[in-house]
Amino acid sequence: MSTSYRDVSVASTAAAHDVASPSTPGSRPGASRDTRSSVFGGVRRNRQPLPPMTPGRGIIVWALTTACLLAAWFLLYVFALTPLAEARSQSILYGTFREQLALQVAPLGGAVKPGVPVALINAPGLDITDVVVVEGTAAGDLMAGPGHRRDTVLPGQRGVSVLYGRAAMFNGPFAGIATAKPGAVITVTTGQGVFTYVVTDVRHARDAFPQPLQSGEGRLTLATAQGSGRLGAWNPTGVVYLDAKLNGVALPYPPGRPAVVPTAETALQGDPSSLLPLTLSLPLLIGALVFMVWARSRWGGWQAWLVVLPLVLAAMWAVSQAAVQLLPNLV
C-alpha cells in the first residue's frame, strides 16, 4: 500500500480504481504499476512514497476527482463537441432540404413536424451562410440549427416570422445578430421561393417594438441570447432581437399553424421533457463504469480500457446531450 496513491493526481482514474478495489500490495509488483502509470501519461517521480491515506479521505478525493472530471467533460462537450454535432446535423439537413426544394415538397407552413428543415438562410452581414432552419424552438430542436417558432408564419409569408437560434453552443449560428447593422440583407429560401429581408433594427429588452405591419408586408425577427462581454453569450442576461423587413410582397400561408407553443419552446427556456432521456441514459453510464471496474480486475488495464472506453464515451455523450437540453434554448 505504500505507493498505491502515488499517481493520483496524474492518472486519477487509475487511482479511483485502486480505491474502488483495494487489494493487497504484494499481488502487484511495483514494476507493472509503473508501466501502467506511464501508459496513462504519468510522470514517474523518484520521491519518498507518501504514507497511506485513510479510507475516508480516499473516498473524498475520489468523489472530488470524479466531479472535476465530469465537469471538465461537460465543458469539453459544450465547447468542442456541440459544434461538431451541429455541423453534422446541418450537413444532413442541407441535403434533405435541397432535395425537398428540388422536388417541391418542402413544408409551406401549417402544422409542420418539429425538427424538419423549413428554410435556408443566408446573411453575409450576420455571418450566416447556408444555414438550414428547422421547425420548432425547443432546446432539442435548436441543437441542429436555428429553429422556426411554430406559432409564427414561415419566412416570406404575411406577418411576423420568428426564428430562434443559439448564440454560443452548437456553433452559435445567431452569434452575429447583436452586432448586425441596419441595412444588412438576409436572404431566406423556403418552399415558396427566395425572399430578401433588410435589417431594420436590433432590439434589446424594453426597446419599442417595430411599427405594425401593413397588409402584404412581412417581417423576420431573429432572436438569440445575449450577455455582456466577449464571452457574454455563454453567460446570458437577456435576449436580443433583430427585425428585418421583407422586400416585396409577402405571400399567403396555409392554415393549421399552432396557436400556442409549449413553454419549452419560448425564449431562454430549457426543456424539462429531456429529463426522461437523461434518467434513461444515466444508468447506461453507470453500467458502463461498473463494467469497466469488473473488466479491469478481470482482463487487466489496457484491455479493459480498449473495450470499455467507447462505451463510456457513448454513454457520456448521451447523458450530455440530454442534460444540455435542460439549459436555456438560446444559449
Q: In this structure, are residues 162 and 168 in contact, taking their beta carbons and an 8 Å threshold?
A: no
Contacts for 64 with CB less than 8 Å, ≥ 6 apart: none
C-alpha cell at 165: 437560434
Integer Cα distance of 327 and 82 in angstroms: 13
Minimum separation from the CB atom of position 98 to another protein (A): 24
Minimum separation from the CB atom of position 69 to another protein (A): 8
Integer Cα distance of 33 and 30 in angstroms: 5
- In sequence order, what are the beta bridge partners of 187? 122, 196
* Structural element, H or E, at residue 5: none
Closer residue to another protein in complex, CB, 106/322: 322
Q: What is the DSSP letter of 17?
A: H
Tracing cell 468523489 back to the chain, one arrives at 63
Closer residue to another protein in complex, CB, 116/267: 267
Closer residue to another protein in complex, CB, 105/205: 205
Closer residue to another protein in complex, CB, 88/204: 204
Minimum separation from the CB atom of position 116 to another protein (A): 27
Closer residue to another protein in complex, CB, 93/331: 331
Q: Which residues are at the interface with another protein (CB under 8 A)? A: 5, 8-9, 12, 15, 50-51, 53-54, 57, 60-61, 64-65, 67-68, 71-72, 74-75, 78, 181-185, 196, 198, 200, 203-212, 225, 234-239, 241, 247, 267-270, 326-328, 331
Q: In this structure, are residues 199 and 181 in contact, taking their beta carbons and an 8 Å threshold?
A: yes
Minimum separation from the CB atom of position 219 to another protein (A): 12
Minimum separation from the CB atom of position 107 to another protein (A): 26
Integer Cα distance of 179 and 252 in angstroms: 31
Integer Cα distance of 45 and 7 in angstroms: 9
* Number of C-beta neighbours around residue 124 at 10 A: 12
Chain-centre distance of CA 325, in angstroms? Answer: 8
Each residue of 303-312: b (16+ CB within 10 Å) or e?
ebbeebeebb
Minimum separation from the CB atom of position 161 to another protein (A): 17
What residue type is 280 in one-letter code? Answer: L
Closer residue to another protein in complex, CB, 116/326: 326
Closer residue to another protein in complex, CB, 129/303: 129
Minimum separation from the CB atom of position 50 to another protein (A): 7
What residue type is 12 in one-letter code? Answer: S
